[in-house]
Amino acid sequence: MVGAVVLGAVFGAALPTPAYRLSVEWKAPARTSCRECEAPLPTGGPGWLRFGSRCPGCGTRNGPPAWLLSVLVAAGCGGLTARFGLVPQALPFLVLVPLGCLLAAVDMACLRLPEALVLPGIGASLVVFTGLAMVTGQWGQLLRAGLAALAMGGGYLVLALLPGGQLGGGDVTLAALLGIFLGWLGWPFVLLGAVLPFLVNAPFAIGLLLARRVGRGSSLPFGPAMLAGAYLAVVGPPALLAVLSH
């Protein structure tokens, strides 16, 4: 568990810059300069995954605090390691944690879930879980994962198309991605992962309304609630059973 927590903290500390660069309007190009001094940001892989969120030139913080993402990813990886132990199927879930934190940070900044992250995530997840099925023979779990992705993606698509619906295309594709992981574990996890985001989002929305930070018709990011709900669905029931058994 310690190794997963440490690696999670390292990966989390490298996420503020990509979060800042991807926090743009739909179809707009990624940011290439500091928002304050307009100094160009490094290009290429190392330039996207630099540690910290401060501009090397003026010191302005671009993106969310590095310590916050570091703590969130570390805690998420630690919880999943406690949930699964050191088994092969834990690896894709651990990889999803930094990706999910990055998606949540972008969604909170600009109400957008970049397809450049979600769609490759769906493809990579299907490849990884297919590999696991080949090794372990768990073809039934793979089939269930695919069906759950279709079910969750289709359900969110219906909600997005309803009059006055606040969901967008990114929420639909994220639902499909999360459906793969939840479906691999079982249909009860899919059901929890579908319901919990709305329960998680409700107190957040009510708090913003009471604080008059938003109005009744304001759009709110739903991706963070979806990710938190899926995480709670995966980690929560086993942890609750462990507590009750004692």
- As to burial, measured by CB atoms within 10 angstroms (0-12 exposed, 13-18 middle, 19+ buried), residue 90 is middle
User: Could you read off the pLDDT of 126-156 as tens digits, one per residue?
Assistant: 999 999 999 989 999 999 999 999 999 999 9
Beta bridge partners of 33: 40
> Taking every pair of C-alpha atoms in the chain, what is the biggest distance, in angstroms?
57
Mean pLDDT, the chain cut into blocks of 10 residues (246 residues total): 85 90 85 80 63 77 89 94 87 95 93 93 95 93 97 95 84 97 95 93 75 64 93 79 46
User: Could you read off the pLDDT of 16-37 as tens digits, one per residue?
Assistant: 989 998 988 887 888 888 777 8
Residue (of 70, 98, 104) closest to 174 by Cα position: 104
Q: Which two tokens stand for residue 87?
A: 């088994």
Integer angstrom CA distances of residue 108 from 132, 156, 222, 225: 33, 19, 9, 11
What pTM was computed for the model? 0.90
